[in-house]
Structure 1
Amino acid sequence: MSESTSDVCQDCGACCAHYRVSFYWGESDAHPGGTVPRHLTIPITPHRIAMRGTEQSPVRCVALEGSVGGKVGCTIYPQRSATCREFTAYTPECAKARGAHGLAPLAEPALAS
């Protein structure tokens, strides 16, 4: 995630309160090399886990701090899953999550010349 994307995400958080955050169980700190705190996850299949709060409705990841559409942050940002690392702002998925929270889609930043 680029610095500008990170800044935009710190004012949003909609994806963390719209999508289930599921990933391979080996990313949990219960396994060698895993980083996601196990106590913040819940099993969903034999090989997949999800962040607590994203497996239910309404969705809200337990690691999300702050108000969606305001200042937000991830309490486990350095330990977040690949699912979170790979989610990108300015995509249709981002716009869908933002829309679900009454937020307008993000406008692509202008390229520096």
Structure 2
Amino acid sequence: MSKVSACLTCGACCAFYRVSFYWGEATGAPAGYVPSELTEIFHPHLLCMQGTNQAQPRCVALEGEIGKHVGCRIYQNRPSPCREFVAGDEIANPYCDKARANYGLAALIPVKEVA
């Protein structure tokens, strides 16, 4: 049985946290995959997604309305923090809950699959 990820309707984490990662993940590096033109320098060894290093962050790659319907226009090439972030409907994630609360969205309840 498959389920639709809550991330397709949420997007709160993409507009709440800074998304910083090692520069080698960007396309300017030999094995990079994150589009360099969507990043900015955060630290000598770290980049961040444009739009996420400000008082009211919103990733430049986030499309749609938070809490309604969203998508990432670079999903297949997203940086490691985005790949590692787990929605609260998969496992309990207080960071997901905090971002959702900022937008007036209820915390997600982890769904346990029955074998």
Both structures adopt the same fold (TM-score exceeding 0.5): yes
Question: 2: CA distance between counterparts of 1:39 and 1:55?
Answer: 15
- 1:1-113 alignment to 2 at 5 Å? 4=3, 7-90=5-88, 91-113=93-115
Count residues in correspondence: 110
1:110 shift after superposition: 3.7
Q: Which runs of 5+ in 2 are unaligned?
A: none
CA RMSD of aligned residues (A): 1.2
Name the SS for the 1:72 alignment partner.
strand
Q: TM-score, normalised by structure 2?
A: 0.91
Secondary structure class of the residue paired with 2:21: strand
Deviation at 1:111, TM superposition (A): 2.5
1:70 positional shift: 0.8
Shift of 1:64: 0.1
Structure 1: segments with no counterpart, 5+ residues: none
Give the SS at the match of 1:53: coil
Q: Deviations over 1:16-52 (max 9, x none)?
A: 0000000000000001110000010000110000000
Greater percentage in helix? 1
Tell me the percent identity.
Answer: 51
- Once the 2 structures are TM-superposed, how far is the Cα of residue 57 of structure 1 from its aligned partner? 1.9
Using structure 1 for the length normalisation, give the TM-score. 0.93
